[in-house]
């Protein structure tokens, strides 16, 4: 699959050249999509291509999906909004056979209500023992995902939470084929729904070729009895199979996070945030030094890896407060325990799979008002700490 690049990394200012092959699409009636019988798994993809990713759906992602062996026990369905075509399409993929089985009026894929509808429709039309929902488009950590150019809209975290709750369907795996969505702010918001078991996402820019769906989902197509934990592991293994041999993706990383473990650890993270804030006057310069040396997301400096941040704090001899040091180690352990599986490239080996916003300078001035309204900073007081840090 090295012959084509799936995405232009517009957020990073990098553009990959792309050769668009022909896609063989089987014709089918335009009617109401549905599965005939209940299956073991349903993989539902929310494809927001009503933007500069328009050509990448048929140009690569669909090709990957068509390389997954057909299985009567695994439904693969995609709800697609594209820039070049009016309306919304529902695709069914069974091996090499891909059909548009229903067309609907134009929808706003940058609206959480549309995502909620998609989750509900997927779980109802394609009943199965396990449900995977994949979010496909741009992503920006806690600042949202899925931009719809036609509607000039973007899904924020409060909309994501409402979308999941309103749909009411239990999601075994919520995966994000979108940049930097494995942030503590995103994970905490999703955990509040009580309706998601595992999140598969990257703390970094998702590399140009996107998710290698064939490598990720062939194991469950061949063995539909695989559990959510096993499928999450397959996804990380498939990612590693594709990206690890390619040195140009020096920043590639992907992890699977258990939200139950994450939720249980939130009291530890909260206590750590309180201790960081309580020691600001004593350790401001030490914090600044640790922040400078901590791994930050490729295209910006506002999102830092929590495990590496903790290790940088512990490595600083100026930080002598025993309670703060103990809580920092506890925070590191909590994050590592929540991350079930992780694959890092050589340049991300210090990363633990979850990031935290430590907004400074221009980033802070631009985004502090948005950040203030999120669930995580409200619960932990992290926003108030950042106000003090930046003043």
What pTM value is reported for the model? 0.91
pLDDT at 17: 30
Helix spans in 169-212 (H): 184-191
3-state helix, strand, coil in the chain (%, to 5): 40, 20, 35
Residue 314: partners with Cβ closer than 8 Å, 6 or more residues away: 325, 328, 329
pLDDT at 391: 86
Domains of the chain, residue spans = 39-259, 262-338+348-390
pLDDT at 345: 95
Interval 267-317: pLDDT, tens: 999 999 999 999 999 999 999 999 999 999 966 668 999 999 999 999 999
Extract the tokens encoding 76. Answer: 């693969």
Beta-bridge partners for 163: none
pLDDT at 366: 76
pLDDT at 7: 36
Instruction: Indicate the SS3 state at residue 303.
Output: strand
**Residue numbers of the chain with a pLDDT score lower than 50:** 1-32
Whole-angstrom CA distances from 23 to 59, 123, 148, 272 are 7, 28, 24, 51
Question: Quick one: 52 exposed, middle or buried, by C-beta within 10 A (0-12, 13-18, 19+)?
Answer: middle
CB 332 within 8 A of CB 310: yes
Separation of alpha carbons 127 and 150, rounded Å: 31
pLDDT at 367: 77
pLDDT at 33: 54
Interval 322-349: pLDDT, tens: 999 999 999 999 999 999 999 999 999 9
pLDDT at 241: 98
Separation of alpha carbons 380 and 274, rounded Å: 7
Query: What angle separates helix 259-278 from helix 382-390, to the nearest 10 degrees?
Result: 40
Fold of the 39-259 domain: Rossmann fold (3.40.50)
pLDDT at 350: 97
CB atoms within 10 A of CB 285: 10
């Amino acid at each position: 699959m090295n012959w084509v690049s799936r995405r232009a990394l517009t957020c990073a200012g990098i553009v990959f050249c792309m050769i668009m092959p022909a896609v063989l699409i089987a014709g089918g009636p335009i009617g109401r999509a549905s599965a005939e019988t209940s299956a073991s798994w349903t993989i539902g993809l929310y494809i927001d291509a009503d933007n500069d990713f328009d050509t990448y759906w048929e140009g690569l992602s669909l090709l990957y999906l068509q390389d997954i062996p057909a299985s009567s026990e695994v439904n693969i369905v995609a709800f697609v909004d594209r820039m070049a075509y009016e309306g919304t399409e529902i695709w069914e993929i069974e091996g090499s056979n891909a059909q548009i089985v229903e067309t609907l009026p134009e929808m706003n894929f940058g609206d959480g209500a549309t995502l909620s509808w998609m989750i509900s429709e997927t779980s109802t039309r394609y009943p199965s023992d396990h449900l995977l929902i994949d979010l496909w488009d741009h992503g920006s950590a806690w600042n949202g995902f899925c931009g719809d150019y036609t509607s000039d809209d973007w899904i924020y975290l409060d909309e994501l939470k409402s979308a999941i709750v309103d749909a009411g369907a239990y999601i075994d795996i919520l995966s994000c084929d979108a940049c930097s969505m494995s942030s503590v702010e995103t994970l905490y918001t999703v955990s509040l729904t009580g309706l998601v078991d595992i999140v598969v996402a990257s703390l970094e820019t998702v590399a140009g070729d996107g998710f290698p769906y064939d490598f990720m989902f062939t194991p469950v197509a061949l063995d539909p009895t695989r559990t959510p934990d096993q499928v999450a592991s397959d996804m990380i293994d498939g990612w590693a199979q594709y990206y690890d041999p390619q040195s140009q993706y020096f920043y590639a990383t992907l992890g699977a996070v258990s939200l139950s473990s994450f939720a249980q650890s939130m009291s530890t993270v909260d206590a750590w945030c309180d201790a960081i804030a309580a020691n600001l006057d004593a350790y401001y310069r030490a914090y600044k030094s640790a922040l400078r040396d901590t791994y930050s997301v490729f295209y910006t400096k506002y999102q830092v890896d929590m495990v590496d941040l903790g290790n940088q704090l512990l490595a600083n001899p100026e930080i002598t407060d025993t309670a703060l040091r103990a809580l920092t180690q506890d925070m590191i352990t909590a994050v590592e325990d929540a991350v079930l599986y992780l694959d890092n490239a050589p340049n991300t080996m210090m990363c633990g799979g979850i990031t935290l916003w430590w907004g400074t300078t221009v980033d802070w001035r631009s985004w502090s008002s948005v950040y203030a309204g999120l669930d995580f900073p409200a619960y932990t007081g992290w926003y108030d700490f950042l106000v003090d840090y930046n003043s």
